Amino acid sequence: MKSVAVKKGQSREKAAGFHEMGILRCDACGDDFVICHSPAFVDKSVADRQAHWLEKVLAEEHERDKRHADRIELPD
């Protein structure tokens, strides 16, 4: 796994050895997700695309009345 979004407030919030790239807040419920990259994969432009992708995924989950997972694997 190269990158993951971890919901803030989880007991295992930190992805061990991963670099924090930014935080995205769900517009619908206010949950914060930390976008994390493995050290060999740190890329700001990829993190920006992932944040845009994650925003859509979170919105779709609300449309389907689905709870957000604690960890969401991100596309490369």
Tens of pLDDT along 16-57? 789 999 999 999 999 999 999 999 999 999 999 999 999 999
Query: What distances in angstroms separate CA 39 from CA 24, 28, 66, one per listed residue?
Result: 20, 31, 31
**Any idea where the domains of the chain sit in the sequence?**
3-73
Q: Is the pTM here over 0.75, yes or no?
A: yes
* Residue 12: per-residue pLDDT: 58
Predicted confidence band of residue 9 (pLDDT cuts 50, 70, 90): confident
Query: What share of residues in the chain are helix, strand, coil (percent, to 5)?
Result: 30, 30, 40
